[in-house]
Amino acid sequence: MTHCSHAISYPSGGTFRRGTDGAPGKSRGAGVTVALALALALGACGSDDKPKPPGQAVAQVNGTEITIHEVNNELARMGVQGGADNQQAAKRVLDMLIDQQLLAQQAAASKLDRDPQVMQALEQARRRMLSEAWLERNVNAARPTAEEVNRFYTENPALFQKRRVYSFRDFVIERSKFSDALRVRLDSVKTPADLAATLKGMNVNYRETANMRGAEQLPLEMLPRVAAMAKGDISVLVNENAAILMQLVDSTEQPVALAQATPLIEQYLLNTRKRQAAESKVKELRAGAKIAYLGAFAPEAAGQKPQTQPALAAPAGDASRQGAGASDESLRKGLQGVIRK
């Protein structure tokens, strides 16, 4: 029996299926994250002098007040209910807001609010928050019915009745190193030690990690193939920078009952409908707007119609052919939370 079987397509058209683990690619760097955090903190500096109604302030930081509404908003964002039962959580949030305000004051004193990169980050954050707020208020979706929930439960046994938790060994390599020769060698690989030896023998640098994923943490379209994997099988996820060789080490069955899954399925289906409604709304807005692509994005030939695909929409086509970028996003967002043990 061969250990190489079909799982996830990569751009050249070949496929493997000998269980590997997909680790998301590296971020663009901490600098952007820090800059954005500073930008968001600085965004609160503009309203320091505005008086707060009596009784709303819960702290003062060098004369600047923090209100109970700010604490409650942060608790809500974190999914924590306010009230006396969560006084400790509220205190932790308040201390975090105090720290943010201190840093924002230091940044403002250093005139970072005039730094071009920070100003750009502030504008981007403002634009994103406004767009999300508008969609929240203008995009509605009907809650799924009991029949729709039952159908989703029945049609996805790998998520529920036959749910499994998978143990993977991940080998992350540069995409350029995922050659035809390596693809052929994967057919004879049976264990993580074999895979490590193969990569070393071909002078391919790799990063190895061990991961466990429930069925809900895998892309929905990938589940049937993963459910059919044998120990030692390898699945390959590819993005623009890396190839992730996911080797299946073991799996255990952990089914989920309909009663337990119902509220999570309802939320998943509702979120899916909201996303689809948002994509439709953006298409409408694009259709009624005057959009011109300039510079490097200008049409190459006169009269060529620019692409107007909404930014919120996922690329069309087989998800497996979108590479690891799409699959990693599904791992992170797709069905996360549909099952929580």
- Helix ranges (H only) for 187-306 are 192-201, 223-227, 258-287
Determine what percent of the chain is predicted with pLDDT higher than 70.
70
5 Cβ contact list (under 8 Å, min separation 6): 15, 16, 17, 18, 229, 233
257 phi-psi bin (left φ>0, alpha ψ -120 to 50, beta other):
beta
- Phi, psi values for residue 17, rounded to 5°: -160, 70
Q: Shortest CA distance to 122 belongs to which of 41, 52, 54?
A: 41
**Which amino acid, 33?**
T
pLDDT of res. 17: 42
In tens, the pLDDT along 24-83 reads 344 444 444 444 444 444 444 444 555 555 568 999 999 999 999 999 989 888 877 655
332 Cβ contact list (under 8 Å, min separation 6): 24
Distance between alpha carbon 6 and the CA centroid of its chain, in Å? 26
CA distance 265 to 262: 5
User: What is the pTM (predicted TM-score) of this model?
Assistant: 0.55
In tens, the pLDDT along 152-195 reads 999 999 899 999 999 999 999 999 999 999 999 998 999 999 99
Determine what percent of the chain is predicted with pLDDT higher than 90.
53
Say whether pLDDT at 331 is over 50: no
Contact (CB, 8 A) for 97 and 105: no
CA distance 229 to 225: 6
Query: Domains of the chain: which residue ranges?
Result: 30-136
